[in-house]
Structure 1
Amino acid sequence: MGFIVNPVAGMGGSVGLKGTDGEAIVHEAMRRGARPTAGERATKAIVRLKASLPQVNVLTVAGPMGEQVAREAGTEPRVLDLSHTGSPTSADTRMAAKSMADRGVDLILFAGGDGTARDILGASGRQVPMLGVPAGVKMHSAVFGTTPASAGHVAALFLSGSLRAQLRDAEIMDLDEDAVRTGTVSAQLYGYARSPFERRLVQNAKAGSVPGENETLDAVARQVAEGMRDGRIYILGPGTTTRRVAGALGIPSTLLGVDAVLDRKAIGLDLNEQELLRIIEGRRAEILVSVLGGQGSLFGRGNQQISAAVIRRVGRDNITVISTIEKLIALPAGALQVDTGDPEVDAMLTGHIPVITGPHRTVLVKVRA
């Protein structure tokens, strides 16, 4: 198995940067206090892989691009030396993927986000199946496990032969991060990778809205806005659905950021994790989020600002979920997904949660970590 880690993947999430493509954004994320998490998430995948397939042979990249994680997880990998000094770049990812494909690996397991998936597809094409450990901010592509452990499990099933016949063409999608930071969603399809698939363990690509949903969502937004209580902080997650709530209140909002509302007025726009924690300190707060279409993600994809610490502070009973019934019917394995990076918070969120699907209409939906 080829194994590649993008060590800076996901660093922009909790600090509100919507991604970490480009050296300048990485430096800005660090300036804002972001810490690397890709290595931790990759370790969970390798530990799960080794539990099912102890004798796996791993070919990886020197240093933080894989070797450190592989050794910490108890493997003795063969190591590619790309003879590069300084911080790893997307060019290093492409070089590693090409070298692994040329050496005939059976699978490339990588830890990163959509940008990393795009780099690997560009370097290795459809020559080698690929599978992602979700470690980025967005992860709209269909090559990722639902969680790091799920990715490790699927990798083990595939390499042991159980999923050899279960390869699918998986979309590689990526957003223009510069456009996202200005509030514009500009997604592009970059191609299709061959990827192992197990329905409960691998996510789908993000899906758009279904025609005819707008009137229902507008009515829900008005109902939610009218029901807001004075003196309580409301955290609005990213997306067009929650933005409708801001519209019903007649206040500004950020399309792909996280905002805060108090007494029907915006008190913070495009907030990061630490800003959210400061705003809700000592106050009653609620979280309003929508469902990521096609994937069913509730927390952990594109809304990392609403971190495990924020969720713990607010409490499970103060989370309001809004979705159309069409999105819920299309949920992979019939459940919503959470992947906050904190096992205790993920466990707290599991079970069933009410989802508002229309005016005065809710359904109970299963939540799975």
Structure 2
Amino acid sequence: MRTLTRLLDRRTALLGVATLSLALTMTACGKADTGTSSDGESGGSGDKPLSIVFLPKNLGNPYFDASDAGGKKAVEALGGTFSEVGPQTASPDAQVQYINTAAQQHASAIVLSANDPKAVGSALTQAKSSGTKIVTFDSDTEAQYRDLFVNQASPEGIAKAQVDGLAEQIGDSGEIAILSASANATNQNAWIDLMKKDLQADHPDIKLVDTVYGNDDDQTSFDKTAALLKNHPNLKGIISPTTVGIAAAARYLSTSKSKGKVALTGLGTPNQMRKFVEDGTVTEFYLWNPTDLGTLAAYAAAALANGEITGKEGDKFTAGDLGDYTVGADNTVLLGDPTGFNKDNIGDFDF
């Protein structure tokens, strides 16, 4: 069974690379596709058509489905060609082959949510040297490997929203645990470090007893939730700062004797969490709009590819209907603050 799984994963990866190669080759060779939008604006730098490749942590993830849909709409509005490729499993080096292929096909830009801050560094460096712009979003690499990072919200704001939200739900005391994505995920680790600081500074009666990793896999996250409840019988709350993790944890809690006794919060999308809010499994969870995040990343990538910005602090660009943005310190663009979703407002959102 393991051999068959490996063969299927390899076949999927090769098909993804082939799809990307075909899309980019058609863009490069298609004379009619000049990269000019309907309003006459250039879709790329000079005469080169705009081609932007979105590379999420893994395919089939509802969060990245939403963010990449926003990116696709933005790229097409700019008259460019959009491609989405990626691995089925979010492992540290699984994205390397897709980066290499995009660079070899001279993509204008790669928009990447990194599974590891260093593992893709060499591939990204080579891609940059070939003229491809690198934009990270959602999960960053080390700064030298990219031109710009589009951050969904400030790490401090994300961490504080989740910690304060759970503290309110459990009466600001008791044992809690964290169900994260992969152990090497840059954004997850940054948030967890800040959560620990928030707990120590503002919630001294809450004890973090365990941090486990579901690797952004539904079944693994489901099993990790079960193990947390078994290993910590006095657990009062779980924070899962990953869309796959919080949905899997909610699914487990919803049919367990811990429903209504163990609070759950974290980062999720309204559509995947709606039923768990409505049935009382989850009181409130948080997220920015991932569609807007993908939109912003696409416009940032296009601005870099078109030479409108270089990614330095103070650079300004317009992101369609999202409005104007300014590049901040460390070559970072900030989307905004996270939103809390609960019974009162979850019906207002569809993503």
TM-score normalised according to structure 1 size? 0.33
Greater length-normalized contact order (CA 8 Å, ≥ 6 residues apart): 2
- The structure that is helix-richer by fraction is 2
Considering fraction of residues, name the structure with more strand. Answer: 1
**Under a length normalisation based on structure 2, what TM-score does the superposition of the two structures give?**
0.34
